[in-house]
């Protein structure tokens, strides 16, 4: 049976030895930079964990597609940081700040191409299914990002619309990662679909937790400045919940859309909006939502018949993701 330590070692080897084209350095150095600054490697880890449900060893066939998931995720982060004007990612300068916007766009583009190249190395028995899954997911992630941008200029975003958006932007890639590991391992269609549902539920929990931590987290742990969503007028689960729960939604909108062009104004805006969150109990609502998705994900796993010991790897993974807010 594959252990957590085996997966840790595989991830360290995969990303410690990952290679990209060397020239021109101005194009490829940002790719290495994004990989080198680390991250939780959630998506390739989940791919390997799903594979481990059905296999007794980690074969070479899983490594390149799993790495491709992280490369694709890094592409989305590079472009997302440009759109959000984010100065930090994982405690380091974002690519567009360290180089420039043009380089960040091109380097992100080539990361997307590299991700497809890695996916195409999937074994023949599942290559078509892997490519279809990945292509569908990649388009959905872009759709989610577009909705995210459009929502910034709207005051009437309801929870159903917001959940649809984060489902596309975040949850589908985590779901894809879980299903891909099962596809590579030769699991049944029912098992692959169950793992997709597991990944989707835990992906929703992960995004709501991310929204929560943007207001209530520790910058040193979170890896980027706290309060970015509020300061930049970016919708989050907490924002939508506050709008729906507020007895004076127009007042909340005024606070949330207030200008914040100086450091003093940014601090005042953050404290003003966060105080509304506190009065409305939005933080507790978010924690309850995270736990709801967590429990739904665990329930899906109960229907996969591979033995309790193997499933414990995924139970532990799910708990580690939601544990960030505890």
* Per-residue pLDDT tens digits of the chain, which is 326 residues long: 999 999 999 999 999 989 998 899 999 999 999 999 888 899 999 999 999 999 999 999 999 999 999 999 999 999 999 998 888 888 899 999 999 999 999 999 999 999 999 999 999 999 999 999 999 999 999 999 999 999 988 888 999 999 999 999 999 999 999 999 999 999 999 999 999 999 999 999 999 999 999 999 887 766 667 898 999 888 999 999 999 999 999 999 999 999 988 999 999 999 999 999 999 999 999 999 999 999 999 999 999 999 999 999 999 999 998 888 86
What pTM value is reported for the model?
0.94
| C-alpha closest to that of 29 among 87, 83, 106, 112 | 106
How far apart are alpha carbons 168 and 145 in whole angstroms?
8
Report the pLDDT value the prediction gives residue 224, as an integer from 0 to 100.
67
| C-alpha closest to that of 227 among 110, 86, 129 | 86
| C-alpha closest to that of 174 among 208, 206, 130, 128 | 206
Report the pLDDT value the prediction gives residue 20, as an integer from 0 to 100.
92
Domains, the chain, ordered by start: 4-325 (1.10.600.10)
Report the pLDDT value the prediction gives residue 84, as an integer from 0 to 100.
82
Greatest alpha-carbon pair distance for the chain in Å reads: 59
Chain centroid to CA 247: how far?
33
| C-alpha closest to that of 268 among 280, 277, 256 | 256
What is the torsion angle, in degrees rounded to the nearest 10, for the CA atoms of residue 45, residue 47, residue 49 and residue 53? -170
How far apart are alpha carbons 33 and 260 in whole angstroms?
31
Residue labelled with tokens 């894809």: 176
């Amino acid at each position: 049976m594959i252990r957590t330590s085996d997966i840790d070692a595989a991830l360290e080897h995969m990303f410690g030895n990952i290679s990209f084209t060397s020239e021109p350095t101005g194009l490829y150095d940002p790719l290495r930079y994004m990989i080198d600054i680390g991250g939780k490697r959630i998506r390739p880890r989940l791919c390997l964990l799903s594979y481990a449900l059905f296999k007794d060893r980690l074969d070479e066939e899983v490594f390149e597609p799993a790495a491709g998931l992280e490369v694709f995720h890094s592409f989305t982060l590079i472009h997302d940081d440009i759109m959000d004007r984010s100065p930090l990612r994982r405690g380091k300068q974002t690519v567009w700040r360290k180089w420039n916007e043009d380089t960040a766009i091109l380097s992100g583009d080539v990361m997307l191409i590299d991700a497809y190249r890695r996916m195409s190395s999937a074994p023949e028995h599942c290559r078509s299914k892997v490519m279809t899954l990945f292509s569908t997911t990649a388009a959905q992630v872009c759709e989610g990002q577009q909705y995210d941008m459009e929502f910034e200029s709207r005051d009437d975003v309801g929870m159903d619309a917001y959940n649809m958006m984060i489902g596309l932007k975040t949850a589908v890639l985590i779901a894809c990662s879980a299903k891909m590991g099962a596809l590579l391992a030769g699991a049944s269609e029912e098992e692959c679909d169950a793992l997709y549902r597991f990944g989707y539920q835990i992906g929703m929990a992960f995004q709501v937790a991310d929204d929560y931590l943007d207001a209530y987290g520790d910058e040193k742990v979170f890896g980027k400045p706290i309060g970015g969503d509020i300061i930049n007028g970016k919708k989050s689960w907490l924002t939508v919940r506050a709008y729906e729960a507020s007895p004076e939604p127009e007042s909340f909108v005024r606070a949330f859309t207030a200008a914040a062009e100086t450091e003093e104004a940014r601090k005042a805006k953050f404290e003003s909006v966060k105080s509304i969150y506190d009065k409305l109990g939005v933080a507790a609502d978010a924690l309850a939502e995270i736990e709801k998705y967590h429990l739904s994900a665990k329930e899906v796993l109960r229907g996969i018949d591979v033995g309790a010991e193997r499933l414990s790897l995924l139970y532990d993974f799910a708990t580690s993701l939601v544990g960030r807010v505890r």
